[in-house]
Amino acid sequence: MLQNIIFQESDILFLQNTSLKKMSPINWGKTVSIINEYIQQSIFEYLEFDCKTNEEMCGSGYDLLLDKKIKIQCKIRQVEGQTAYSKSIHFSTTRRKSIKNIDKCKTGHVCYSSSEFDYVFVSLVHKGMRDLIDWKFALIPVEELIGEGSNLVTSISSNLLDKYKVTSISDITLRLRSYQLLQLP
């Protein structure tokens, strides 16, 4: 799927760093999470979406903004299982308890709210296949993740990962362009 996309050379070099390759799965995931946002940004830009990062926008609750209206939450998860899509993944944030986050914390992690973003774009790194060309992806609409009230679930099921897996680059374009059409007045 990623063969024709031109990624930033610095992102590729970062992922090839020998110290990074030696890291435990937990430390690798924490370290690569920001680079994952740039990688996902490159995918959206390849598809000719106007894509701004949260850093550029000083936004809150999402990582990327497409065409000035579609909010994307970026995640990267290392997964075991038969396929990259066959096990559920953890999905909450480590934001601290606060008045804003009251009633959103049951496990020590805080649930996202359904109003924070429109899609979650998950990079799935299957069984230690850390080379970018081996990554798999799922693009899930927030409506599928609503749990209690306006809070989102704290894990994404394997069924949803499989239902919304990205099998070709055109899957992303079709889903997001359909979403844009639905949002027209």
CATH code (residue 85): 3.40.1350
Q: Supply the DSSP string of 50-72, one letter for each residue.
A: -EEEHHHHT-SS-SEEETTTEEE
- How many domains, the chain? 1
Q: What confidence score (pLDDT) does residue 101 get? A: 53
Q: Is residue 169 part of a domain?
A: yes
Rg (alpha carbons) of the chain, rounded to whole number: 16
Least Cα distance to 66 among 42, 89, 93 occurs for 42
Amino acid of residue 160: L
* Domain residue limits at 53: 9-182
CA gap 8, 13 in Å, rounded: 9
Q: Is residue 123 part of a domain?
A: yes
Q: What is the torsional sign of CA 145, 52, 54, 1?
A: positive
The owner of tokens 């110290």 is 19
Q: Is residue 82 part of a domain?
A: yes
pLDDT tens digits for 131-179? Answer: 898 999 999 999 999 998 888 999 999 999 999 999 998 999 999 988 8
The DSSP symbol for 107 reads S
Q: Is residue 44 part of a domain?
A: yes
What predicted TM-score, i.e. pTM, was given to this entire model? 0.89
In the three-class reduction of DSSP (H, G, I as helix; E, B as strand; rest coil), residue 156 is classed as strand
The DSSP symbol for 144 reads G
Report the DSSP beta bridge partners of residue 73.
120
Regions of the chain where pLDDT drops below 70 = 1, 3, 58-60, 94-109, 184-185
Q: Is residue 121 part of a domain?
A: yes
Q: Is residue 129 part of a domain?
A: yes
Q: Is residue 3 part of a domain?
A: no
φ, ψ at 37 (rounded to 5°): -60, -40
Measured in whole angstroms, the distance separating CA 92 from the mean position of its chain's CA atoms is: 12
Q: Is residue 71 part of a domain?
A: yes
